Amino acid sequence: MSQKNSLEDGRIRQTIQNGQAVLGIELGSTRIKAVLIDETYAPIASGGYNWENRLEAGVWTYHLDDVWAGLQSSFQELFQDVMDKYNVPLIRVGAIGVSAMMHGYLVFNHEEEQLVPFRTWRNTTTEQAAALLTDSFQYNVPQRWSISHLYQAILNGEKHTGDIAFMTTLSGYVHWKLTGQKVLGVGDASGMFPIDSTTKDYHSHMVEQFDSLLRDRNLKFKLADIMPKVLCAGEPAGCLTEEGAKLLDPSGQLQTGIPMCAPEGDAGTGMVATNSVVERTGNVSAGTSIFAMVVLEKELSKLHIEIDMVTTPAGKPVAMVHCNNCTSDLDAWVKLFGELYSSMGFQVKKSELYDMLYEKALEGEPDCGGLLSYNYVSGEPLTGFDQGRPLLTRTPDSQFTLGNFMRALLFSTVSTLKIGMDILEEEQVKLEQILGHGGLFKTPVVGQRMIAAALGVPIAVMESAGEGGAWGIALLAAYHINPADDKSLEAFLANMVFCGNEGTVLTPDAADQKGFAVFLERYRRGLEIQKAAVTYLN
């Protein structure tokens, strides 16, 4: 080991021993990840746990037992990583933050018992409720929002609605159990119920409207009484309790009393991890789902049911284009190729297989040679589907090569997003560049180039953003205890975290753009094929 590395490890070891490192944990759709950062805001250790959602009785869900098994495993792996690298136990940190997938439906009674299985963002069973609320509020209320799930359950006459004492998101649930505090960061709260960006709280008039809709249903609660308190980044959100410490670290080594920042959703931590929290900036998160977040200079001129209005963790208005489907179908194809290699007696690393297949897409024709792919593993409300059927189709004279095949799969991951982003162009929303993060960007250049072609703006990717939302929530936790002389979150990120780090920027290639435009026109026309598949493939 060089003297420089030895000195650096010594500095980090001292940071950990002094309890100055900060812990961020994010519960993503396929992985729970814990990241530890030092006083330079750089990741110094990590741990993780793979998990999958379950389709049970027609509902996409995660068991809460799996939540705690995953959190404990992630923390234990992080603990071991710290021991292996720095030979010091991780028994105290400066702050902790928890983030998770936004939206969904988690409800509890007065005895703190879960009333129904967790209904995740992936479910598309609330069309009636979402439409009624959108019409009543004159504000887009998507199907995956918590309030849509609640109202649909009430409309369906589900008995559990009479016993609801608390409704929250996944990040809010974990934070509640770790601290005893029923709070939620404003960004995550904006995926439960509409937020008024002037008050940075639930929209009071819409809360009253919702309660009036329930007046004749003899329910025991008022909406404001069952939702978490809304907090902006930097506001007090409680500390790790003795019970919470044991939930996270059953070994009992982790100390209590650690301050925790407000829990946030993956959209908010994605904005933080890409420094996309000021006006005219945006980011694209591309993994199991794909969504774009654009920080607005002003409110949109009218209601658009395809655009969600959410906020940054500091409460600024954000236009969100969310698509349920991104890489799941592509991942299934990569897995199939892996089986082929294995059947032939070859061993190939998963990362190498992804890189090879992604890079093949760069050899494909700009318009994918006539191939057409739909990645709809689940429903896609933005294009009007409550169910999905993954499809690959072509004409007899299409050029069916591996390069065109992979390019079609990659183009399909961003096509629905582009349909939504076109609405923001109509609203004359200005963007200087978009920052990308998530699994689609792990292979250098390829995903970045495909999305640049689709959206027609430069795409930047930062090395640090590879840590994703776990790093983003760790930064929010660091801001929580070090708000830089009362500076804003925007100033904290720009001046203390991302100063001089602009990432790798890729401008759109003209041939790629032209090819994607041809593919997208084919994609739009072919949506009738997807409709037929949903109807006849049961």
Q: Give the 3-state secondary structure of residue 265.
A: strand
Confidence (pLDDT) at 291: 86
Confidence (pLDDT) at 499: 84
- Best CA proximity match to 98, nearest among 150, 23, 17: 23
- Best CA proximity match to 393, nearest among 381, 366, 375, 415: 375
- C-alpha 219/C-alpha 455 separation (Å) is 46
Instruction: Work out the percent of the chain whose per-residue pLDDT is above 90.
Output: 79
- C-alpha 449/C-alpha 459 separation (Å) is 8
Confidence (pLDDT) at 486: 57
Q: Residue 334 CB: number of other CB atoms within 10 A?
A: 18
Decide: 172 and 260 in contact? Cβ < 8 Å: no
pLDDT in tens, 411-425: 999 999 999 999 998
User: Which DSSP letter does residue 497 get?
Assistant: I
Model confidence, pTM: 0.82
Q: What pairs with residue 372 in β-bridges?
A: 393
- C-alpha 318/C-alpha 282 separation (Å) is 9
Confidence (pLDDT) at 437: 80
- Best CA proximity match to 452, nearest among 392, 385, 504: 504
- Please give the domain boundaries of the chain with CATH numbers for all domains: 103-168+193-226 (3.30.420.40), 266-325+420-504 (3.30.420.40), 328-414+510-536 (no CATH)
pLDDT in tens, 475-498: 999 999 986 555 899 999 988 998
- C-alpha 189/C-alpha 445 separation (Å) is 34
H-run or E-run covering 107: strand 106-108
User: Which DSSP letter does residue 494 get?
Assistant: I
pLDDT in tens, 182-235: 999 999 999 999 999 889 999 999 999 999 999 989 898 999 999 999 999 999
Q: Residue 11 CB: number of other CB atoms within 10 A?
A: 12
Confidence (pLDDT) at 285: 85
Tokens 């209601």 belong to: 303
Decide: 314 and 277 in contact? Cβ < 8 Å: yes
pLDDT in tens, 33-87: 999 999 999 999 999 999 999 999 999 999 999 999 999 999 999 999 999 999 9
Confidence (pLDDT) at 467: 60
Token representation of residue 502 = 């602009």
Confidence (pLDDT) at 124: 86
10 Å CB burial of residue 58 (0-12, 13-18, 19+) is: exposed
CA distances from 477 to 203, 470, 523, 528 (A): 26, 11, 42, 47
Q: Which positions of the chain have pLDDT values less than 70?
A: 1-4, 463-467, 483-486, 502
- C-alpha 257/C-alpha 244 separation (Å) is 10
Q: Give the 3-state secondary structure of residue 278.
A: coil
Confidence (pLDDT) at 298: 81
- Best CA proximity match to 367, nearest among 527, 526, 524, 514: 514
- Best CA proximity match to 359, nearest among 466, 451, 444: 444
- Best CA proximity match to 376, nearest among 417, 441, 438, 328: 328
Decide: 3 and 78 in contact? Cβ < 8 Å: no
45 residue type, one letter: A
SS3 string, 352-363, reads: HHHHHHHHHHHH
* The CA-based dihedral angle spanning residues 530, 535, 536, 538, taken in that order and rounded to the nearest 10 degrees: 100
- Best CA proximity match to 437, nearest among 409, 459, 457, 461: 461
Tokens 């994918």 belong to: 368
H-run or E-run covering 513: helix 510-525
Starting at the edge strand found earlier in the chain, the sheet holding 504-506 runs: 308-311, 317-323, 290-295, 281-286, 433-437, 459-461, 504-506
- What residue spans of 87-169 are helical by DSSP H? 127-137, 146-155
**Which residues lie below 8 Å from residue 397, measured CB to CB, with a gap of 6+?**
370
Decide: 88 and 13 in contact? Cβ < 8 Å: yes
Q: Strand runs (DSSP E) across 372-464, as ranges? A: 372-374, 391-393, 433-437, 459-461
